[in-house]
A and B are shown apart, each in its own frame.
Chain A
Amino acid sequence: MIGRRGFLVGAGVGVLAVSVPLPALAAGEWEPNVLLRLDSAGGITLTLPRPETGQGVRTVAAMLAAEELAVDVADLRFVQAPGDTQRYGPQSIGGSRSVQQMTVPVRTAAATARCLLVAAAARRWGVPVETCHARDGAVHHRRHGRLRYADLVDDAAAIDPATIEVTLIPRPRWRVLGGRGGRIDARDIVTGRARYGIDVRVPDRRVAAVLRPPWIGARLDTVDDSAVTGVEAVVRLDPATGVQGGVAVIATSTAAALRGRAALRATWTGGTPNADSRAWLDQLAAAVPAPEPFAHTATYRLPLLAHAPMEPMNATAHVRPDGATLWMPTQDPGGHRDRVAAFLGVDRAAVRVEPTLSGGAFGRRFETDFVMEAVVCSRAVGKPVQVVWTRDDDTRHDSYRPMSVHRLSAEVDGSGLPVRRAHDVATWPLSIFPAMPPDLVRLIGDQFPYTVPGDVRIALLPAPLRTGFWRAVYAGQFVYAEECFLGELARRARADQVDFRLRLLGESRLRPVLAAAGERLRPRRGRVRAAACALDYGSACAIVVEADRTGTPTRVVAAVDVGTTLHPSGLRAQVEGCVLDAVSTVFGAQVTVRDGAVVESSFRDYAWARIDQAPDIEVLAVDSGAPIGGLGELAYPPAAAALATAWSMARGEPVTGMPVNRPVG
């Protein structure tokens, strides 16, 4: 049971604060809070506070609301909230926090509405509230029958929420949460009706293609557009405005903008035309802190990775003298709104950000560069401009996952188990925090769940190119190295990878999770079995991988404990996605820099996994009942480490980095 409004607001549930100004309502409409609107025609509209990027967050919001309103997901209509964190609370999607942060506010919002409807019916009938209950969009009473929500809207709107008690539906009575529900946008996706940022079509839309620096850090010197025809404007993009710099060609169609861009001639200066990612890796290797290592050591070299979301970067902006409207896939609608407002020098109320569906993000759509390009272009021509990045632009002008070199060492006991450990790392900070303290990197990255005392020392060198959040920020590097090393120690001790870890786990929440995965995927003749764990984002995950003699994964079992599984299909999807990210990055995908520029330019050379590389994946939900934890990134680091370890066991050679099967960097 949860308490009254005062308590809810005090608990940070800003969405229920009645001080938030509500839009004027027509007669017969009721907004119990900023997320819900019910009308006397029976319509229930849920405003989805956070954007969708494929992680299923909108579907979870819908399920939470349907559960507490005692209706089906199919009975709800949806509106995507514009960027407005003052009104909707936190809206950014990252750090695997969305569901964690959204669950209480959305459930509470919907439960409040239900309890008010029940109270309204009870008053109408003159019976105690406890004798009424909500089901299938109506309030029921044994003797009085039923009253539909539609007929109770006006009465419910007249009740002060502070005067009623709000109760949540307890887990044993859930009908929707934990059930089979699929994605709310599934039909739109399979029919092509789903609208992503690149599909935004507003009247008078112009399209911009941008000629970008040919090497890292290059600045535009001269530009000659005399050969460019059939375009509306050519605009220089000044890096001081928050963009990466370049020349935008603005036309009435994408094809015309791209044709115009191809006809531009430009010269560039500055930057690092000789940069080479192999040299960067060597510099990092030389910078690894070097205290006395323990007897057993191993070094891991990790590459640059691009986000490469399937939908390349894009944004549409319409800048008017009095403000702006933007439509785009974004992981940070409120933050983008604030930054655009600051740039234009207007009040944030004058900027409207409409998040669209997003064709993947993986951390990339926190950045502001692509948004500012649209703003600068629209301001220049006074019309709505959609900036569209080509795949080549997207791959070569990303904010990459930092490279890193890890030296692990351990002192082991008579059975080969580590009793002391050391992890020395050299890497780069993220570009948005150039002064990032090493302690912060350690806090994010070092998620070592085993009972082995030790030290982690980190040296940060200045990043030689743009770096950014990439699924499982720093944990993707740190946990990979730590788990690969544990796998190596187990290999040296000829121990089973699952048992080896169980002996090091103590009372950890991971123990039942790893045991469940290990039980499900038993060792078999002719196959190797590897494992790795993660305890992060308030959740626990164990991955067990089986590989054949060549080291090719044949089966993956993942067990996860997120506390309580709200959306089983979505939970499995996130883990499956992490496993495929791991297959991709362990077996080939990396970004390399030669002669100052990123070499890879599309999925042809950024070797992301294809369907024929996908192993069978089984996901077990091991709910402990702990508070709801995060999931979106959780499985990537252990999946990568388990895949690499299985490869190493099958081939009898140690892992030395990522990818395992080709030179790093």
Chain B
Amino acid sequence: MYRLRVNGRDSALDVPGDTPLLWALRDDLGLTGVKYGCGVGACGACTSLVDGQAARPCVRTVEECADSDVTTIEGLGGDHPVQRAWVDLDVAQCGYCQPGQIMAAVALLAEDPDPDDAAIDRALRDNVCRCGTYPRIRAAVRRAARIARGGVA
């Protein structure tokens, strides 16, 4: 039995310790907003926050994450500046990569509240969007930064 704090709630996971955190979140805790894209850390679809840092639950085991604080897309609240910016700019096409893109952007803005395009490209470089929404993602990260600063009504 492993204990984690997930989206502010204490959760107990009765799974083998080597279970990838991704499948525990999706299958055992029902957090299907965390997306499976590759399972080998190569696409970013599963990006979530582990102890405040952007992480890839598909390459972390439940055992490694015991006692950590995990935030998934479901834990963002719905009105986060990044989520608002994403809706405002109609970023998503299929949308499947977007929870991971959004969580990566949240982690970026926590470190750098006013990233330029080069910083955005660096932070999101390993989040694949097969549909090609990159130009809108870039614009939405900038907009989210403005929303967070109170610069957008």
Contact = CB atoms under 8 A, between A and B. Distances in A.
Asked whether A and B interact, the reply is yes
Interface of A: 52-56, 182-183, 185-187, 189-196, 198-199, 201, 207, 253-255, 258, 308-312, 357-360, 388, 390-391, 569, 573, 576-581, 602-604, 608-612, 614, 616-617
Given A182-B87, A580-B132, A616-B135, A189 B42 contact: no
B38 A603 contact: yes
Nearest to A611: B134
Contacts of B94: 52-54, 309-311, 357-360
A310 B92 contact: no
Contact of A602 (B19, B32, B42): B42
Given A185-B95, A187-B78, A614-B135, 13 more contacts: A189-B95, A190-B92, A190-B98, A191-B78, A201-B32, A253-B27, A255-B15, A312-B36, A359-B94, A359-B95, A360-B96, A604-B38, A612-B121
Contacts, number: 184
Contacts of B73: 190-192
Contacts of A616: 135
B11 interface: no
Contacts of A312: 36-37
B136 interface: yes
B132 A189 contact: no
Contacts of A359: 35, 94-97
Contacts of A581: 132
Given A576-B136, A580-B132, A580-B134, A604 B40 contact: yes
Classify chain B's interface size.
35 or more
Contacts of B39: 390-391
Contacts of B107: none
A191 B93 contact: no
Contact of A191 (B45, B76, B90, B121): B76
Contacts of A603: 37-38, 42-43, 128
Nearest to B97: A310
A235 B128 CA distance: 34
Interface in B96-153: 96-99, 102, 120-122, 124-138
A195 B135 CA distance: 25
A311 B35 contact: yes
B128 A608 contact: yes
Nearest to B38: A391
B135 A309 contact: no
A255 B19 contact: yes
A255 B27 CA distance: 9
A191 B96 contact: no
B70 to A, nearest CB: 13
B74 to A, nearest CB: 5
Contact of B86 (A55, A186, A357): A186
B47 to A, nearest CB: 12
Interface in B1-56: 15-16, 19-20, 23-24, 26-28, 30-40, 42-43, 45
Interface string B64-93: 000000001110101000010011101011
B93 A569 contact: no
17 contacts: A186-B90, A187-B87, A189-B86, A253-B27, A254-B23, A255-B16, A255-B27, A258-B23, A310-B37, A310-B130, A311-B37, A311-B96, A357-B94, A390-B39, A603-B42, A604-B40, A612-B125
Q: Which of B26, B27, B31, B95 has the most CB of A within 10 A?
A: B95
B102 to A, nearest CB: 6
Given A190-B83, A191-B78, A608-B128, A254 B27 contact: yes
Nearest to A574: B93
Contacts of B97: 310, 359
Contacts of B131: 54, 310, 360, 573, 577, 580
Contacts of A198: 32, 35-36
A457 to B, nearest CB: 34
A204 to B, nearest CB: 14
A130 to B, nearest CB: 38
B138 A255 contact: no
B127 to A, nearest CB: 7
A611 B95 contact: no
B40 A577 contact: no
B111 to A, nearest CB: 17
A189 B24 contact: no
Nearest to A191: B78
A613 B21 CA distance: 31
B90 A573 contact: yes
Contacts of A192: 31-34, 72-74, 99
A617 B133 CA distance: 11
Contacts of B83: 190-191
A610 B20 CA distance: 25
Given A310-B97, A610-B125, A617-B135, A360 B130 contact: yes
Nearest to B41: A604
B136 A310 contact: no
